[in-house]
Amino acid sequence: VARCFTGFTVRPRSGFRKGAVEFQEDAHDAGAKRVLGRVIPAGLGARDVDEVIDLVAAHPSTAVHLAGKLCRRFLADEPREAAVAAVAAAFTRSGGQIASTLRALFDLPDFLDGATARPRLKRPFHYLASALRATDAMTDAAAPLLAYLSAMGHYPFAYPTPDGYPQEARPWRDTLLWRFKLAADLAGGRVAGTSVDAARLLSRAGSERGLAAHLFGRGPTAAEEKALLALGDPGDSLALGLAAPAFQVY
């Protein structure tokens, strides 16, 4: 694989066409190569890379790997092997079409059946984005807001290794303290550069019950409605809604 990529380089970060990727024919290893058991013939030049990408994309391990990631995202930390296999088959069958692959996933009983489907914990970035969206927040998405992601260890593009931030719930459960704080600060107008109008949200939703339905995607339980009503302040009710267990999951 490394031989196929010879000749590709990145222009310096200063000067003409900075940072552009370019191919230098004379620095390319033009001979034939063997990748994953297949021969890439001599003389393809920059098209070696297309061959490699086609090979990797069509490799059975890729389908299983991506299907596993999608299933962990939408189903469970440890999805059933048969579920992963079904999604992988849809990926292979469709030649890697994401729509067909996801359709197969969403048709699985693991996804549809309320008895087996469990809510998944939002990771901090998801939590933050969903809170901003649900509250119709105006934000400059600048440092004061991103500081919450730093504090929860989920700053964008900062994970040092290619495996990426963990997808499973366990490492993120203990970020609840900062989620509570973000909920209170957001609703209380204490995040510089980001504003939320809690009173307007509540009046638009019609009632605490409506607000809960808007945030949770379902009507509130009796306990949830009682707790939201008891606070008697739109900001506090919104903070409680964003900090509630039902808003931590998707």
Partner 1 sequence: MAALATRETTPGPIENGTVVVVFLRGGADGLTLVPPVGDDGYYRERPQLAVPRAEAVPLDGFFALHPALRPLLPLFADGLLTVVPACGSDDDTRSHFEAQDLMEQGGRGRGGGFLGRFLRAGGAGGPLSGVAFGTALPLSLLGAPGAIALRTLDELSLGAAEASLLGPLGDLYQGDLALGPSAQAALQALRTLERLRREPDRPPADAAYADDDLSRGLRLVARLIKEDLGLRAATLDLPGWDSHVLQAQVMEPLMRSLAAGLAAFARDLGRRLARTSVLVMTEFGRRVGENSALGTDHGRGSVLFVLGAGGPGGVQGRWPGLGRSALEGPGDVAVANDFREVVGAVLHRHGARGAGL
How far is residue 228 from each of residues 82, 124, 134, measured CA to CA in Å?
42, 23, 16
By the rule CB under 8 A, 126 interacts with partner 1:
no
Structural tokens at position 46: 């920059």
By the rule CB under 8 A, 172 interacts with partner 1:
yes
Beta bridge partners of 121: 249
By the rule CB under 8 A, 245 interacts with partner 1:
yes
Length reported for the chain: 250
What is the helix (H) or strand (E) element at residue 104, kind and residue range? helix 98-106
When binding is defined by CB under 8 A, the residue of 13, 34, 133, 173 that contacts partner 1 is 173
CA–CA separation, 44 and 36 (whole Å):
18
Q: Which stretch binds partner 1 (CB under 8 A): 17-25, 79-87, 174-182, 194-202?
A: 174-182
By the rule CB under 8 A, 235 interacts with partner 1:
yes
In sequence order, which residues have a C-beta less than 8 Å from that of residue 199 and are 6 or more positions away? Answer: 234, 235
Min CB(30)–partner 1 separation in Å: 31
Question: How many C-beta atoms surround the C-beta of residue 216 within 10 A?
Answer: 18
Q: Which stretch binds partner 1 (CB under 8 A): 23-31, 34-42, 197-205, 239-247?
A: 239-247
Question: How many C-beta atoms surround the C-beta of residue 228 within 10 A?
Answer: 23
Residues 141-170: x where in contact with partner 1 by CB under 8 A, - otherwise, as a string: ------x--xxxx-x--xxxx-x-xx--xx
Contact present, 189 and 140 (Cβ < 8 Å): no
When binding is defined by CB under 8 A, the residue of 4, 40, 64, 243 that contacts partner 1 is 243
Q: Return left, alpha or beta for 113; rule: phi > 0 is left, psi -120 to 50 is alpha, else beta.
A: beta
By the rule CB under 8 A, 111 interacts with partner 1:
no
By the rule CB under 8 A, 132 interacts with partner 1:
no
By the rule CB under 8 A, 178 interacts with partner 1:
yes
Residues 208-227: x where in contact with partner 1 by CB under 8 A, - otherwise, as a string: ---------------xx--x
| Site of interaction with partner 1 (CB under 8 A) | 121, 147, 150-153, 155, 158-161, 163, 165-166, 169-178, 180-181, 184-185, 187-188, 190, 223-224, 227, 230-231, 233, 235-236, 239-240, 243-245, 248
